[in-house]
């Protein structure tokens, strides 16, 4: 069976600088995905034109800056992550070249082969977050699985997380004892009996 070799991580985007190039459908989707996950994300969006939806998506997010202009190399300066989401494949490849030259991680929305990272489909329940990837095979299946998992996971899980966190903070003893105790307390989740 083929396997998925992507390594998942969870970025703290309020500590990073993100550049999105493109303010059309895909630019809007990516900016929305970022802000739904990380409202304090620092994002600059550069595009020659913006869908009106972009204003709606970004209203009330003081760390988002919309810049209406053509992309230029200098836009990458000081950025940690770039998402190239223009409808111009040649331009997207050019943005990729500039990002690589500056050692900045880049996602090129129309070319998976040029992506250093993919965005995942995300289930959120309070402090719980599950990111799903199909290895780029079918984002629609990722979206559907998100819906299935969101339905299957009860909202009350947040209470359980909060309780476990309180217990975790209270537990005394050495590290191995703590781990043992926390595993005992949560074994009900995996007990088949």
- Site residues (CB under 6 A) for ligand NAD? 21-27, 46-49, 70-71, 85-88, 91, 109-110, 139
From 67-75, 87-95, 113-121, 173-181, span contacting ligand PQ2 (CB under 6 A): 113-121
**What is the rounded distance in angstroms from the CA atom of residue 107 to the CA atom of residue 96?**
8
Q: Which of 56, 68, 135, 186 binds ligand PQ2 (CB under 6 A)?
A: 135
Q: Which does 140 bind (CB under 5 to 8 A by kind): ligand NAD, ligand PQ2, none?
A: ligand PQ2
Closest residue to bound ligand NAD by CB: 24
**What is the rounded distance in angstroms from the CA atom of residue 40 to the CA atom of residue 103?**
24
Total binding residues toward ligand PQ2, as defined by CB under 6 A: 22
Closest separation between CB of residue 90 and ligand PQ2, Å? 15
Exposure string for 118-141, b = 16+ CB within 10 A, e = fewer: bbbbbbebeeeebbbbbeeeeeee
Q: Which helix (H) or strand (E) holds 17?
A: strand 17-23
Q: Which helix (H) or strand (E) holds 26?
A: helix 25-37
Q: Which of 48, 63, 124, 133 binds ligand PQ2 (CB under 6 A)?
A: 133
Q: Which of 17, 102, 118, 185 binds ligand PQ2 (CB under 6 A)?
A: 118
Q: Which two tokens stand for residue 122?
A: 């995300």
- With respect to ligand NAD, which residue has the nearer C-beta, 127 or 138? 138
3-class SS at 157? helix
């Amino acid at each position: 069976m083929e396997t998925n070799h992507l390594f998942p991580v969870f970025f703290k985007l309020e500590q990073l600088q993100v550049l999105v190039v493109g303010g059309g459908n895909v630019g809007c989707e990516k900016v929305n995905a970022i802000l739904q996950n990380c409202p304090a994300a620092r994002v600059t969006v550069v595009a020659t034109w913006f869908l009106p939806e972009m204003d709606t998506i970004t209203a009330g997010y003081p760390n988002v800056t919309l810049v209406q202009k053509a992309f230029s190399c200098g836009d990458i300066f000081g950025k940690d992550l770039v998402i190239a989401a223009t409808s111009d494949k040649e331009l997207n490849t050019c943005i990729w070249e500039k990002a690589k030259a500056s050692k900045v991680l880049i996602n090129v929305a129309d070319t998976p082969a040029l992506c250093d990272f993919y965005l995942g489909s995300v289930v959120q329940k309070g402090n719980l977050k599950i990111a799903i990837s199909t290895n780029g095979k079918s984002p629609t299946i990722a979206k559907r699985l998100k819906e299935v998992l969101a339905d299957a996971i009860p909202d009350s899980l947040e209470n359980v997380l909060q309780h476990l966190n309180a217990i975790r903070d209270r537990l005394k003893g050495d590290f191995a004892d703590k781990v043992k105790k926390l595993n005992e307390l949560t074994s009900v989740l995996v007990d088949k009996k």
